[in-house]
Amino acid sequence: MGGTFVWVGVLMAVGVTKHLFEYTGLVGKCDKGHVVKILTNGFGFCPECTEENDLNHTLWAPPGFVCKGGSKVEDIQ
């Protein structure tokens, strides 16, 4: 069997979840001291830590958050 292998370039980023510092119940601070708001999905994102052409996939969670390792929404609530 013959064939042609075609590579389709895909950028893949590995994200991390970190705990916020100085969390007040709605906002906290990232590790660089920027204010991060927890959004309706339960996580925050720090746009100030993002640079152009940088795949920043760091999510910020309230202190004490534990991911259960599942892929369903109820596994991360």
Q: What is the pLDDT of residue 21?
A: 95
50-72 as b/e: b if 16+ CB within 10 A: eeeeeeeebbbbbeebeeeeeee
Confidence class for position 57, pLDDT limits 50, 70, 90: confident
* pLDDT (mean) for 2-26: 71
21: Cβ contacts below 8 Å, ≥ 6 apart = 28, 29, 30, 31
Domain residue limits, the chain: 16-77
